[in-house]
Every structure is written in C-alpha cells, then in structure tokens.
Amino acid sequence: MPPLLAALALTLLSGVLLLSLCWYLFLTEDLCFLLQTCCRSFFHLPAIAEWGRMSMCDAERRLLANALLDISNEWFILLSESCIPLYKFSLVYHYLMKSKYSYVGAFDDPGPYGRGRYNPNMAPLVNITKWRKGSQWFEVNRKLAVNIVEDTTFYPKFEQYCRPACYVDEHYFPTMLTIQAGSALANRSITWVDWSRGGAHPATFGRSDITKEFFDRVHGGQKCKYNDRNSTLCVLFARKFAPSTLEPLLDMVNSKVLDF
C-alpha cells in the first residue's frame, strides 16, 4: 500500500464541509486505487473551538492524533471548510511525498501583530528571537505531526501567556516547530489567500469572483523554493470560498480552468 495523505478539516458548528463536492472530485478523479483507503479514514470529531484561543489548537491536535493512528498516513493537511484544491490529486500527492520540508508558515514579524504579542513570561523557554507567526493551515509530515501531538513542554506556556490579543493558533505551532525542528520547515504556506482587502481575515470570495481571470491570478506570478530549488508551483490550495461559489467552481472544473 502506498503512503497516504490525511486531509483534516476544521468546519463550522454544522460539521459540514460546505464545498465537499470539490473535494470528492479531487479524491476520486485521479489515483482511484487510493479511494478505498481514503474512505476508511473519514471520521467526525465534534469539538467546539474558538478562533484565537487554545481550544482551536486542541481541535487541531485531536485531528492529528486520530489520523496518526493509521500508520499508512505519512502527510497531514489541515484545511478549513472554505478551502479548495487547485490541482489534481496526483500532483498534490507527489509534491508533498517528494518534499524535504513541511509547510508551516513561520516568520519573525517585528511589528505589533508579531513580536508585539510576545509575553516576556514565556522566557527562557521561548525567547523573543524565536517567536514566530504564521497561518494556522499547514501540511506536515508524520514526524512533525507527532511533535505537535506529543508536546507537553510548550503547551502550558502558550495556554497561560498567549491569549487574545495574542492569537495562539497563529503562534503556538510556528514557534514550537521553529525551536524544535526549524531546519525541517519550508517557512511558507501552500494555501493561497488574498489579504489585499485589509482587515483581520483574508478576503472571502463569492459567486461573482469565480472567473478564469481570477484563477489566472491565483496560479500565476508565484515564485518560491521547492526542495531548495527555484519553483513557480508554490500553492496547492486556496481559501476563503463561500458556499455560493460551489456551482461556478464546478463550471471551472468542467472547463479545465481548475484541473482536478
């Protein structure tokens, strides 16, 4: 049996993955021999989590812990209910399986929304020079998933001292993994978002946004490092898409603008 990807989704209280049909097409259109093993791994873990609080990290750790029980799972992808894939499953599969690094955004932000959230009481375990910020959405290999789940060292510090307006889901995993395994991180996200509209959250896209020109912008103009080499394939997923985008997204799939 080939090693597997485990897709983990944080959803709204309904527990429904609103764009699930996109993910169904993504999982079944390509590499059909994996379908049986993919389906056996679906599970539902009801837990109420609040944005910016430790309950969010608790929910993510629960998802990882359950996915780790299947020894075939080698990579773990954390998604939201508003995420979509940008490419076919085979491309995503090989991109991750061949990667030397896990995809956790972890950068040093000197401003008020980065180092400005640091609490000196976290020293000496967490020094401000190691304080990191990043997106909560990640793609990690099995070794780093185990690091996240088994941590009992950093958790108490973040639970006690990283409270709003220190949003723990943006700092806990990036900081902990930078300290524990910094050389194993790509230090970038492979989930595309649009911050150009300003505010505390990235833009949410509606039905009228879903055009070929929109996805030309998503797919184009990317430059990054993949396995230490220059690459223009830098993002595999995108967010945030409202439920109203499902029909036009399927039109994009049918017209091959989205290839999955």
Residue 254 has a pLDDT of 86
Is residue 32 assigned to a domain? yes
Q: Walk along the chain (260 residues) and give the pLDDT tens digit of each residue.
A: 789 999 898 876 555 566 777 877 777 755 443 444 444 444 455 556 566 789 999 999 999 999 999 999 999 999 988 999 999 999 999 999 999 999 999 999 999 999 999 999 999 999 999 999 999 999 999 999 999 999 999 999 999 999 988 999 999 999 999 999 999 999 999 999 998 887 778 899 999 999 999 999 999 888 999 999 999 999 999 999 999 999 999 999 888 888 77
| pLDDT tens track for 185-205 | 999 999 999 988 877 788 999
Is residue 207 assigned to a domain? no
Is residue 256 assigned to a domain? no
Whole-angstrom distance, CA of residue 132 vs CA of residue 107: 5
Is residue 223 assigned to a domain? no
Is residue 219 assigned to a domain? no
- Six-digit token pair at 154? 């950093």
Distance of CA 20 to the CA centre of its chain: 17
Whole-angstrom distance, CA of residue 109 vs CA of residue 101: 22
Is residue 26 assigned to a domain? yes
Is residue 260 assigned to a domain? no
**Full domain range(s) for residue 87:** 4-189
Q: Under 8 Å CB-to-CB from 211, ≥6 apart: which residues?
A: none
* 3-state SS, residue 201: coil
Q: Count up the domains in the chain and report the number.
A: 1
Whole-angstrom distance, CA of residue 63 vs CA of residue 48: 13
pTM equals 0.89
Residue 16 has a pLDDT of 58
Pairing relationship of beta strands 84-85 and 139-141 according to DSSP bridges: unpaired
Pairing relationship of beta strands 4-10 and 73-80 according to DSSP bridges: parallel
CB 21 within 8 A of CB 250: yes
Is residue 39 assigned to a domain? yes
